[in-house]
């Protein structure tokens, strides 16, 4: 098949959906980790916050693993160029995720305030660093990085951290932190829940401002380059609308709807990035003709066909299992009742 209806477009779309799911789900547990030192006034508060994401955080990371595996199999040149050019940034993300995972497992192994403080810091940095750097990386994808005609990255680490990329990173960090605050409103009760509600009411202004700046800057960049991908204007505008809806629903105490709207803003931001990319997967700042596309970076038709059959069988099973997990752990988590 040709045009939009082909396996390359299908797998580009599936990878985009995997990143949307990852940012929606991992976004709120990143946010909880970032808020741990700010909302957790004592050990019981911090324990409750960690328990809200304890049953699901590792399942959320499956989306990242599958997205990476799908990229490696479907678009090996995209995978290779990103991992060579973004090596240090991806190494920092991986290191942060490892320390974060270890912190969840070891934090409660010793009854020592110093021991717990150390691992609390690991949870904070292990959440904040990926939340920031994922935004930096995806902003670079659409802004462009130095790629030559051989599909090789020829820049340095500092080519990845320009002003636009940093705004992208701050945007995802603020959105994920807000998403985490709204998740705590949804999953906790008592004083902790009200503190999370008050903080979310303040955070959304910063998140909405950064989202607006990033989307407006992206729009201007695309106009100056005479290149808007295939993104319809309604997608980024809907992302801003979802942010406003989240704030209004929070004020009206429609907690689940507010959380869903903040997640929708994250999903629509991610959709905007991928639509700006299509049919490219990585834009070259040296010459647009050097950009990696779904055509020049993809695997063979046979490989994509086999992958499609496997995905058709196993993806519904994984989705059903994760939905069941969230259903099982759907109840609010409370502080222990005082003794006596």
- Count CB neighbours of 61 within 10 A: 17
The pLDDT value given to residue 18: 95
- Over the stretch 184-241, which tens digit does the pLDDT of each residue have? 999 999 899 999 999 999 999 999 999 999 999 998 888 877 676 666 788 999 999 9
CB 235 within 8 A of CB 275: yes
Confidence of residue 12 (pLDDT cuts 50, 70, 90): very high
Residue 340 lies inside a defined structural domain of this protein: no
| Residue from 245, 228, 92 nearest 182 by CA | 245
Range of the domain at 149: 7-328
Residue 1 lies inside a defined structural domain of this protein: no
pLDDT, average across residues 13-32: 95
pLDDT > 70 fraction of the chain, expressed in percent and rounded: 95
Q: Where are the alpha helices (DSSP H) in the chain?
A: 7-39, 43-53, 57-74, 76-85, 87-106, 113-143, 163-187, 190-224, 234-251, 255-277, 301-328
Confidence of residue 336 (pLDDT cuts 50, 70, 90): low
CB 7 within 8 A of CB 301: yes
| Residue from 163, 175, 150 nearest 259 by CA | 175
H, E, C per residue of 223-248: HHCCCCCCCCCHHHHHHHHHHHHHHH
CB 39 within 8 A of CB 46: no
Residue 216 lies inside a defined structural domain of this protein: yes
The pLDDT value given to residue 22: 95
pLDDT, average across residues 35-64: 91
CB 103 within 8 A of CB 58: no
| Residue from 120, 108, 104 nearest 39 by CA | 120
For residues 294-320, one letter each, b for 16 or more C-beta atoms within 10 angstroms of the residue's C-beta and e for the rest, the string is beebbbeeeebeebeeebeeeeeeeee
For residues 334 and 12, the model is more confident at 12
Residue 223 lies inside a defined structural domain of this protein: yes
Element (H or E) spanning 281, and its range?
strand 280-282
93 pLDDT more than 90: yes
The pLDDT value given to residue 232: 74
- Over the stretch 101-143, which tens digit does the pLDDT of each residue have? 999 989 888 888 888 899 999 999 999 999 999 999 999 999 9
Residue 339 lies inside a defined structural domain of this protein: no
Mention every residue, 6+ apart, whose C-beta is less than 8 A from residue 132.
Answer: 169, 170, 172, 173
CB 276 within 8 A of CB 229: yes
55 pLDDT more than 90: no
The pLDDT value given to residue 314: 85
Residue 336 lies inside a defined structural domain of this protein: no
Six-digit token string for 138? 């995806």
The pLDDT value given to residue 321: 83
| Residue from 176, 196, 199 nearest 184 by CA | 196
pLDDT, average across residues 301-312: 90
Confidence of residue 54 (pLDDT cuts 50, 70, 90): confident
The pLDDT value given to residue 207: 96
The pLDDT value given to residue 340: 47
The pLDDT value given to residue 2: 47
Residue 32 lies inside a defined structural domain of this protein: yes
Six-digit token string for 47? 């324990």
Q: What is the mean pLDDT of the chain?
A: 90
Q: List the CATH number of the domain containing 109.
A: 1.20.1630.10
Residue 334 lies inside a defined structural domain of this protein: no
| Residue from 142, 138, 141 nearest 222 by CA | 142
User: Rounded to two decimals, what is the model's pTM?
Assistant: 0.93
**Residue 259: what are its φ and ψ, rounded to 5°?**
-60, -45
Q: How far apart are CA 255 and CA 250, in angstroms?
A: 6
Of the spans 85-94, 168-177, 302-311, 322-331, which averages the highest pLDDT?
A: 168-177
**Residue 281: what are its φ and ψ, rounded to 5°?**
-120, -20
pLDDT, average across residues 305-331: 86
For residues 318 and 226, the model is more confident at 318
Residue bearing tokens 């009206």: 252
Number of domains in the chain: 1
For residues 327 and 36, the model is more confident at 36
16 pLDDT more than 60: yes
């Amino acid at each position: 098949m040709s045009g939009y209806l082909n396996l390359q477009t299908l797998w580009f779309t599936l990878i985009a959906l995997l990143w949307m799911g990852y940012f929606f789900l991992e976004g709120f547990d990143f946010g909880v980790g970032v808020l741990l030192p700010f909302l957790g006034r004592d050990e019981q508060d911090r324990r409750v916050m960690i328990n809200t994401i304890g049953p699901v955080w590792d399942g959320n990371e499956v989306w990242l693993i599958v997205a990476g595996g799908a990229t490696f199999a479907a678009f090996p040149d995209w995978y290779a160029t990103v991992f060579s050019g973004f090596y240090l940034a991806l190494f920092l993300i991986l290191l942060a995720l490892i320390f974060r995972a270890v912190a969840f497992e070891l934090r409660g192994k010793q009854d020592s305030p110093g021991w717990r403080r150390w691992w609390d810091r690991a949870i904070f940095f292990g959440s904040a660093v990926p939340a920031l750097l994922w935004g930096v990386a995806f902003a670079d994808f659409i802004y462009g990085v130095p790629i030559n005609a051989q599909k090789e990255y020829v820049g340095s680490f500092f080519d990845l951290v320009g002003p636009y990329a940093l705004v992208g990173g701050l945007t995802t960090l603020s959105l994920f932190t807000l998403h985490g605050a709204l998740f705590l409103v949804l999953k906790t009760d008592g004083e902790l829940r009200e503190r999370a509600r008050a903080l979310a009411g303040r955070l959304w202004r910063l998140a909405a401002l950064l989202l607006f700046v990033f989307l407006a800057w992206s729009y201007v960049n695309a106009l100056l380059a005479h290149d808007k991908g295939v993104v319809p204007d309604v997608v980024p505008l809907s992302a801003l609308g979802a942010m406003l809806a989240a704030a209004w629903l929070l004020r009206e105490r429609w907690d689940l709807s507010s959380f869903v709207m903040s997640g929708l803003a994250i999903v629509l931001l991610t959709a905007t990035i991928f639509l700006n990319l299509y049919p490219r997967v990585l834009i070259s700042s040296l010459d647009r003709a050097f950009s990696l596309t779904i055509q020049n970076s993809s695997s063979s038709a046979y490989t994509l066909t086999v992958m499609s059959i496997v995905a058709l069988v196993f993806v519904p099973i994984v989705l059903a299992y994760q939905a069941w997990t969230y259903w099982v752990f759907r109840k609010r988590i409370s502080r222990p009742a005082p003794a006596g």
